Amino acid sequence: MKKTRRYIIIWWKLTLGTSQIAFQSRFGALLFLLGKLLRYIFFLLFLVLLISKTKVIVGYTFWQIVLFYATFNLLDTLPQFFFRNVYRFRQQILNGYFDNLLLKPLPSLFHPLFGGSDILDLLIVFLSIGFIYFASIHIENITIISIALYIVLLINGFLISLAFHIFVLGAGILSTAVDNTVMLYRDLIQMGRLPIEIYQEPLRGFITFLIPVGIMMTYPGEALMGVLSWEGIVIAFFFGGGLLMVSMWFWSYSLRHYTSASN
């Protein structure tokens, strides 16, 4: 517990430092927030217009689609908030800063992952939580069990995202190819803004099991509505735990083959 508290304090101080940098230009920070908000709202308006014509999308009503969309944004933005330093990791490899981090009395993954969160992402986090709440009160047959499964599968989706970011960091050590890899991840998960049922096979199976976007983004909403099978729940936990274990192994492998910037 004492060590956990120490890590939280370090994360908080790093976050304060990155926040000061983000707000050096208040006008720039305001434009950044406005851009995020407009992108969120414009796609939501697109869903409103689409469902006003079709009434349902692959069998889901408007509020169910809003739930999927808000869940996607929550699971897309939370990892960005916590793992923002992944986007800075390539430069830390190139300038030798990572060599210095390895000498610190911290786990080797701590700073690459939690080296300063971006508080500008919190707007979308809270907005998504609000839409999840309002969507859920308009959906029938939600029970305490389905709410609990939804929360647990949200955590599972977050762990899958954590595993992907660890893979990106490991690839960055081996090849310094961080930026392209993390942007590829961001592009792929955009396919989870709507339920995966909108895609035909074999694409649906590809983004569900090979690139588990469906497990991350769609399964929590389906669990809340009570339409996700127990087999699907087991598969989701299998992918969450399995990917995290493999990503940790890959990180250890990458560290063993790391050559410092001074070599």
3-state secondary structure of 73: helix
The residue length of the chain stands at: 263
Q: What mean pLDDT comes out for the span 203-223?
A: 87
pLDDT in the model for residue 222: 92
Give the model's pLDDT for residue 189: 86
At 114-161, the pLDDT tens digits run 988 888 888 889 999 999 999 999 888 889 999 999 999 999 999 999
> Which helix (H) or strand (E) element contains residue 58?
none
Does 136 or 53 have the greater pLDDT score? 136
- Compute how many other C-beta atoms are within 10 angstroms of the C-beta atom of residue 51: 18
CB of 186 closer than 8 Å to CB of 175: no
Q: What is the pLDDT at residue 69? A: 92
Helices (H) and strands (E) in the chain, counts: 13, 0
**Sign (positive or negative) of CA dihedral 229, 225, 69, 147:** negative
**What integer pLDDT is reported at residue 93 of this predicted model?**
85
**Contact (Cβ atoms closer than 8 angstroms) between residue 217 and residue 135:** no
Phi and psi, residue 57, nearest 5°: -125, 120
| Strand-pair partners of 60 | 57
> How far is Cα 124 from Cα 70, in angstroms, rounded to an integer?
9
Average pLDDT, stretch 174-196?
81
Tokens for 19? Answer: 């926040």
Rg (CA), the chain: 20
Residue 153 is predicted with a pLDDT of: 95
Inter-axis angle of helices 179-189 and 62-82, nearest 10? 160
Mean pLDDT within 68-83: 92
Residues 27, 30, 36, 40, CA torsion sign: negative
**In the predicted model, is pLDDT for residue 22 greater than 70?**
no
Taking the C-alpha atoms of residue 85 and residue 77, their distance in angstroms, rounded to an integer, is: 14
Q: How far apart are CA 163 and CA 26, in angstroms?
A: 33
* pLDDT cut 90: percent of the chain above it: 33
In percent, how much of the chain has pLDDT > 70? 94
Residues 218, 153 contacting (CB under 8 angstroms): no
251 in helix, strand or coil? helix
Mean pLDDT of the chain: 86
Q: Which of 21-30, 93-102, 125-134, 234-243 has the lowest mean pLDDT?
A: 21-30
State the pLDDT at residue 1: 66
pLDDT band at 263 (very low <50, low <70, confident <90, very high): low
The closest alpha carbon to 249, from 166, 156, 162, 155, belongs to: 166
The pLDDT of residue 5 is: 86
Can you give the three-state secondary structure of 3-40, one letter per residue? HHHHHHHHHHHHHHHHHHHHCCCHHHHHHHHHHHHHHH
Q: Tokens 């096979």, residue? A: 201
pLDDT, residue 116, reads: 82
What pLDDT was estimated at residue 261?
57
